[in-house]
Structure 1
Amino acid sequence: CRMCGAEASTRCSRCKDEFYCCKEHIASDWKRHKRLCIPAEGVQARPITMDAILFPVDEDRPRIVKVPCEVMRDEEPDIPAFSTVHRLNMEEWFDLKGDTFVRPMDLGGGAVMRLPGPGYNLDIAYDDNSLVNGSPLNRCIQSLTRRMAPHSWAGNILARRSEKPLTYCMRYYNANMKEDLPRVVEFFMGYGT
């Protein structure tokens, strides 16, 4: 059983991957399991969303936004336990058809920033071509840092909680404004120094 370790014969009815000893444990584990639950063949997938903190280019305050997420299987995972990956659709906040190159950046220059719970990191998604394509300075970050950030952040920026067990295996968690915003602002203030 995923919850108690007892011998189990009941599986998750959607993915058929997780085992449980009783229906109560299935219900108790659903909040954790649903973000990794990929339907077995023949079962219709349901879309999910992940909360991220949006630092809007033309507003003064950050806000939580719902980012559409596709949960899928990595067909050739290096480690089978990490076969579930999330693919975020960020086209609402980035012009993916223009001269835009959206890339992630781990906060701390690639160092793992541990959050409560195992495997959590913080990262941001930003347009690395903002100087080339003329994106305006991010007014939200300028406001939060009192215009003292050493780097000129431009365009929209999304902050996310992530898990990176492997280089090419990405899974996301819901961001939390109260817990994550101070860490992200600290990153903006220190980047480039």
Structure 2
Amino acid sequence: MQTAINQACTLCGNPTSMWCSRCQSAWYCCPEHLQSDWARHRLECVKPQPTASYASTNMIATPPPAEPQYISVTAILFSPEADRWTTTQVHCRPTSRSTHGQCPIPILNMFFHDGLTEGIVLTQGLNGENLRFPLHLWYSPTALQRNAPVNRSIFNITCGSASKAWCGTVVVLKFNGSRRQGYTDASPNDLPALSAYFLAYK
């Protein structure tokens, strides 16, 4: 097959005989122009059917897909063996473009070794006041069934007055707003709302 040399570069319009190696339908005069146009072109860049064949010497290597950028936020950790709460860093995996607007997914397997977690969203603080930044409590639903020890750090923050004892680990993340589309750093300022919740939990 003879290579066409009169195609216009998608970015600058100059004549070219080189094309994107993935979709083989977008023309570029140099790799730099494909890189510059990649943010737009990647949305339409689809591999052709297997019947299409072109001379490989004219293909420009398509940029690799971007690696997901993990975010890291400060969370409050209530460890069963500890006498008091502490802070820890939690990495969150961004959601895909198809779920745009949803909150990143926290990676919590280092805290919950059985891999089972459930979440509770705390939207009210002391005296029933709405929290500007809701809190996301993660815990293991099987901790009580496995005879996990009573969480000493929660027992201590409630001075042992909670009507029901918590068992197992609790990790608390803080939403960055009422729409709950991301997380921000939790801090000791969030402890009064958490203490009120643990006291009222039945």
- Report the TM-score, using the length of structure 1 for normalisation: 0.62
Q: Partner of 1:86 in structure 2?
A: 104
- Per the alignment, do residues 46 and 107 of structure 1 end up closer, same or farther by CA in structure 2, a change over 3 Å counting? closer
Matching residue within 119, 142, 154 for 1:141: 154
Q: Partner of 1:127 in structure 2?
A: 140
Matching residue within 72, 75, 82 for 2:95: 72
1:107 equivalent to 2:107? Answer: no
Structure 2 residue ranges without an equivalent (≥5):
1-35, 41-63
Q: Partner of 1:60 in structure 2?
A: 83
- Per the alignment, do residues 125 and 170 of structure 1 end up closer, same or farther by CA in structure 2, a change over 3 Å counting? farther
Distance 2:167 2:123 in 1: 19
Comparing both chains, which one has the higher relative contact order based on Cα–Cα distances under 8 Å and sequence gaps of 6 or more? 1
Check the 8 A contact 1:108/1:187 in 2, yes or no.
Answer: no
> Match for 1:94: what amino acid?
F
* Secondary structure of 1:160's aligned partner: strand
* Secondary structure of 2:182's aligned partner: strand
* Secondary structure of 2:149's aligned partner: coil
Check the 8 A contact 1:164/1:171 in 2, yes or no.
Answer: no
Q: After TM superposition, give the deviation of residue 85 of structure 1 in Å.
A: 3.1
Check the 8 A contact 2:75/2:173 in 1, yes or no.
Answer: yes
Q: Partner of 1:191 in structure 2?
A: 201
Check the 8 A contact 2:83/2:152 in 1, yes or no.
Answer: yes
Distance 1:172 1:96 in 2: 24
Q: CA RMSD in A?
A: 2.9
Alignment of 1:172-183 (within 5 A): 172-177=183-188, 179-183=189-193
Structure 1 residue ranges without an equivalent (≥5):
1-12, 18-40
- Per the alignment, do residues 85 and 112 of structure 1 end up closer, same or farther by CA in structure 2, a change over 3 Å counting? farther
Quick one: percent identity of the two aligned structures? Answer: 22
Distance 1:127 1:113 in 2: 26
Q: Partner of 2:65 in structure 1?
A: 42
- Per the alignment, do residues 164 and 103 of structure 1 end up closer, same or farther by CA in structure 2, a change over 3 Å counting? farther
Distance 2:144 2:185 in 1: 30
Check the 8 A contact 1:142/1:149 in 2, yes or no.
Answer: yes
Q: After TM superposition, give the deviation of residue 142 of structure 1 in Å.
A: 0.9
Check the 8 A contact 2:123/2:131 in 1, yes or no.
Answer: no
> Match for 1:56: what amino acid?
S
